[in-house]
Amino acid sequence: MEKNTRRKEQTAKEKARKDAEEAHKAKVAQAKAKREAELAAKEKAKQDEQAAKEKARKDAEEAQKAKEAQAKIEAKLTEDTELYEGVVKLVIPLPVNIGQVKELVFCLRDEENIKVSMVGGSKDEGGTIWLSVENPIMLLDILRAMPPVEQVAKGKNMIIVKLRNSIAPTAN
């Protein structure tokens, strides 16, 4: 009987040792899983932070582009609504089509507050029209509405007027 008791004790001790080993292994595995989860969480947080920074950078770029576009629009509106009065020089870049210049002069003479003072030009520099504007007017808008005019731009101390192409002979 004593043998049975010893055998039972030994078996119980062996089972307790195995249970302790298993518990220890489980604890180690749990700690390892916890560390891996923490590392994964840190990595995820780092990736999220990088993604947030990248999104913020892109948003800032888009905001800057929008701001620049708005500034261009405002500059264009300011330019388009600028009032002209007094002596104004129109420059017609090469190639100059004499028929188109004549048509532009006729259109300008039809305007109420505009007097054509002088028309000139050269084959090297293009055409020039000097205007006398009696009352403040939005001259750029008026010019853009004229049939021979393709494009108008504000230059330094002048307005540059590009005329539409036509079949009429050009000045040489």
Q: What is the CATH number of the domain that holds 115?
A: 3.30.70
Position 73, amino acid: I
Same domain (yes/no): 105, 140: yes
Supply the pLDDT for residue 168: 46
Chosen domain end from 28, 50, 80: 80
Determine the pLDDT at residue 91.
Answer: 92
The number of folded domains in the chain is 2
Give the structural domain span for 159. 84-163
Same domain, 155 and 103: yes
pTM over 0.75: no
* Pair 86, 133: CB distance under 8 Å: yes
Q: How far apart are CA 135 and CA 118, in angstroms?
A: 19
Could you tell me if 124 and 69 lie in one domain?
A: no
Query: 46, 80, 114 — which closes off a domain?
Result: 80
One domain, residues 25 and 55: yes
From 80, 100, 135, the end of a domain falls on: 80
- What integer pLDDT is reported at residue 167 of this predicted model? 47
Q: Which residues contact 29 (CB under 8 A, 6 or more apart)?
A: none
pLDDT at 77: 57
Contact 75, 138 (CB under 8 A): no
The reply to whether 5 and 25 lie within a common domain is: yes
34 plus 105 within the same structural domain:
no
Residue located via tokens 């043998």: 3
DSSP state of 168: S
pLDDT along the chain (172 residues), means of 10: 78 85 87 88 90 88 81 62 87 87 92 92 86 91 92 87 68 46
